[in-house]
Every structure is written in C-alpha cells, then in structure tokens.
Amino acid sequence: MSKTPENPISETPIVRMAGLNKYFGDLHVLKEVDLTVTQGEVVVIIGASGSGKSTLIRCINGLEPFQGGTLEVDGQPMATNGTDQQTLFTIRKEVGMVFQQFNLFPHLTVKKNIMLAPMKVKQEPEVIANATAERLLNRVGIGNQADKYPSQLSGGQQQRVAIARSLAMEPRLMLFDEPTSALDPEMIGEVLDVMRELAKEGMTMMVVTHEMGFAREVADRVIYIHEGKIVEEGKPADVFDNPQNERTQAFLSRVLAH
C-alpha cells in the first residue's frame, strides 16, 4: 500500500527496538529482536500461534516487561524488568491498543466507555469528551449505538467501540492484537474496514493478525516471526509472493492454502 502525498510515511521513528529479549520464566519468548517503526507506517506481524507476536506488541505498550536490549516508544526509553509508572503513563497517552477481547466496561454505555479516558487522563470537560465520542462513533460507523450497553451490541460493533475508545486519546501509534480473532466471520469485515480507513488517514499501526488478505492490502511492511525471532520482513508482495526464508515459505503454504 503506497501512502498518498497527504499522508506520507515519515522518517521519524515511533518505535525503536534493539536486541530485545523477553522471558517467561525459563521460556525465551523474544530473542534479540531489532525493529524500527516510523510515523505513518503500517506494520503487520504474522506468524504461528505462540511465536511471540502478541508479546512483542505488549512490550511496546508496557504490558509486559522485557529482560534485555533497548526499547524506545515515541521518544520515551523503557526500562528492562519494568518501566516506572510515570513513563508508562506518558507512553500510554500516545499509544492506543485494541485487544482480541473488547475489554469494554459493561456497566457504562458505549458513549461513556469512550468518554472515560479523555475525562480522566486528559482532563477534558465532559462536553468536549461527549462531542469527541459522538464524532468517533460516527467515524467507525455506529453513531446510532451511543446509548446502548456493550452487551446489546454484536462482537463487531463492540470491537469498533474499542477502536473508537483508543482513538479518543488521539494516539500517535495504534497497536492491534489479533482484533478479529474473537469475531464471527461475518463481523470480521466491518472491523477490518475501520482499520483500512485508519491506514489511509496515515495512522501509524502495528497489527498482529491472521488476516493475510488484509496484510497484503494494507501493510507497508510485513514481518514474519518464528520462535521469537524476526526471520523475514519486507513489502507485502515480496513476503507473500517471493518469501526467502524456508520457514516463511512453509508457514505461508499452510495458511494461504485455506
């Protein structure tokens, strides 16, 4: 996907990772990972279950500490074995994350779910947060659902609320951790459509997904992770049509056959 003149890829790094290592006890999950993501870039991360994809982006948002190497997010260096709360607070104001499960507050309406963070974190007046929530719900195509509760929505609608909630913080980077994996097949397209629009608008995105068609269409760069290592990366056409690593070839031959 080539960027438009209005939304070019910048040379400004949003994520800089060098020699990153992550352990769960004795299990070495991420192994010497080097990765830079620049402003306006859409990076899609693929790989088998258990390869370390989700752990990688959870480290970027400080949800998982790492045990070696360096990681800088939007100019903020993170510390090994756990970053201090003030730094995490600063990073999370700039980094939105959308999970497999929607993580909405069931006792709040859709609109209130979106208003909460701007009011609590950014100290926005309620009238401003309300206007922001209405604008973002229209942006993700569910403006008519504002006063419903999450349990009254379909899975696809709930995930679009979760995306709108992240956008309410005006993030510089959006992380998506398999955002369609919990959805019924007919609901996947509506969430991917919202993500396509974000990419067209120039949002910097890192997306862990098994949706290979989406990766081919939207990504500026595709990264294949195997057993905690980046073993191949490049433009979608290069990775999908002419993979160089035999492990990438084997993985794609399995997933693209279905």
Q: What mean pLDDT is predicted for residues 187-200?
A: 93
User: Model confidence over 196-222: pLDDT tens digits?
Assistant: 999 999 999 999 999 999 999 999 999
pLDDT given at position 9:
62
Average pLDDT of the chain, as a whole number: 92
pLDDT given at position 63:
93
Rounded CA separation 192/179 (Å): 9
Rounded CA separation 230/190 (Å): 30
pLDDT given at position 113:
96
pTM: 0.91
Q: What mean pLDDT is predicted for residues 183-188?
A: 88
User: Model confidence over 10-47: pLDDT tens digits?
Assistant: 678 999 999 999 999 999 999 999 999 999 999 999 99
Above 50 in pLDDT, residue 2? no
Rounded (5°) CA angle 88-207-162: 65
